[in-house]
Amino acid sequence: MRSTEIVRAFWDDVWNAHEADALGRFAAADIVIEAGGQKISGIDDVEHWVQQFLDHVNDLHINPLESFQNEDGTRVTSRWVLTGTNNGILGTEPDGKPIAMTGTAVWSVADGKLQHGWVEQASFELYHSLLTK
């Protein structure tokens, strides 16, 4: 399986299926995610991080807009849009308003597993839109 296909299956089978516990099928046991200035290390903590998103965004769906990998497949970049309804994301009131947030993830892939992810998302813009709607 190409590395871009691993990342796509991760979006679909973990995030879009709302199955945080499926993470082990796609990630190394010592996976690290860096997002928002925080480092989440180890499969259990990353699974918890995913579940936090799923708990705070009802009907969460990630639509990968484009993904590409380097020549040897050790790096994948994926640009995406997350949509759903607000159930308290970013500490806001869970008001059921529709949300959309863009983001980019760069993945290190080895032995068919996600090893490290660097995630940037438009959290400030999402937070501002929830406060002003």
For the stretch 23-78, pLDDT in tens is 999 999 999 999 999 999 999 999 999 999 999 999 999 999 999 999 999 999 99
User: What is the reported pLDDT for 124?
Assistant: 86
* Token output for 56: 């705070």
Q: Where are the domains of the chain?
A: 3-132
Q: pLDDT per residue over 42-54, tens digit each?
A: 999 999 999 999 9
Cβ atoms within 10 Å, residue 63: 11
Percent of the chain at pLDDT exceeding 70: 99
Phi/psi for 18 (5° steps) reads 60, 45
Taking alpha carbons only, the member of 67, 98, 94 closest to residue 82 is 98
Q: Could you tell me where the DSSP H helices lie in 28-133?
A: 43-56, 123-132
Architecture of domain 3-132: Roll (3.10)
In a 3-state reduction of DSSP, which class is residue 8?
A: helix
